[in-house]
Structure 1
Amino acid sequence: MRKLVFIDDDPIDHFLMKHILRGKNYFDITTYTIYGSLVLDYIEEYKSQPEKLPDMIFVDLNMPLFSGWDFLKRMEKMYNEISKEIPVFVISSSLRPDDRATSSKYSFVQDFISKPVNGEEIERIIHTQNVTGS
């Protein structure tokens, strides 16, 4: 069972991702949330049960309360304890080269995607990660 988690505070970005994935069988379960801290709580709780963990995470950098940076820092602290590799893809409207460079320093971050997300980019990522339909 393939699981995707999409963390973003913008409902328009949720809509765009849903539209991109509509009709595709890449993931059995897709979770859309604004609460990156809750995703990390879940990962922490089930870190030794790989079948319950997500197969891929997209996270926005700029969010109020608990930012993508907060997510990356906390994920880094527990990543070695997780029983499965979870590729993380940063999405951002930031034009700052520093953001791209800083996010790439996290070993689990696979790519930095500029907003708005587009279908071709998402398709490329999914195929690169060998996500297949069920």
Structure 2
Amino acid sequence: MKTPLELACIIDDDNIYVSLISKIIKMKKLAKNLLVFRNGREALSYFDSLSEDFDAKKIPDIIFLDLNMPIMDGWQFIKAFGEVRQKLDKKVELYLVSSSIDPRDLQKANGIEEISDYLLKPLKINDIEQIFEIAS
């Protein structure tokens, strides 16, 4: 088994999904620590604060980002995060996670360089393990 990632992040407003993914990450020891944000604005505020007071241990190695959330959705977050990400000086794997099978969403995601992959909910345990394996 590979060494767990230092920090993973989930940005999603679905409590059941967040609970499930969190349990899998902890049970399989895929990450030592986990950040959870309920919308893009909460997450962006966190990342903005890091760009002013840089600490690599507080920057996640991997982010699972939902597309459809209140306040700031996934697309809005990606656009704003692109500017902040340059200041963070660390590679972050960003996975879009959605229940949307709209081909326009997939096409849009494929056109954004910062996105590692577009994943459909519900994620399977093997898929999650494979993603963490790639990121480590």
What is the TM-score of this pair, normalised by structure 1? 0.87
The answer (yes or no) to whether the contact 1:58–1:90 under 8 Å persists in 2 is yes
Distance change in 2, residues 1:46/1:100 (3 Å): same
Please tell me the root mean square deviation across aligned C-alpha atoms, in Å: 1.6
Bigger fraction of residues in helix? 2
- Find the counterpart in structure 1 of residue 16 from structure 2: 12
The answer (yes or no) to whether the contact 1:20–1:118 under 8 Å persists in 2 is no
Percent identity of paired positions between Structure 1 and Structure 2: 28
Which stretch of the first structure deviates more once superposed, 90-99 or 9-18?
A: 9-18
- Find the counterpart in structure 1 of residue 135 from structure 2: 129
- Find the counterpart in structure 2 of residue 109 from structure 1: 115
Task: Give the 3-state SS of the residue equivalent to 2:63 in structure 1.
Answer: strand
The correspondence for 1:58, drawn from 53, 64, 67, is: 64
**Structure 2 unaligned residues grouped into runs of 5+:** none
CA distance in 2, matches of 1:7, 1:52: 15
**Structure 1 unaligned residues grouped into runs of 5+:** none
**Count of residue pairs brought into register by the alignment:** 130
Q: What's the offset of the Cα at 1:31?
A: 1.7
What is the TM-score of this pair, normalised by structure 2? 0.86
Q: What's the offset of the Cα at 1:85?
A: 1.3
Q: What's the offset of the Cα at 1:79?
A: 2.3
Q: What's the offset of the Cα at 1:24?
A: 2.2
- Find the counterpart in structure 1 of residue 43 from structure 2: 39
- Which stretches of structure 1, 4 residues or more, deviate above 4 A after TM superposition? none
Matches within 5 A, 1:61-100: 61-100=67-106
Q: What's the offset of the Cα at 1:89?
A: 0.5
CA distance in 2, matches of 1:50, 1:125: 21
The answer (yes or no) to whether the contact 1:88–1:109 under 8 Å persists in 2 is yes
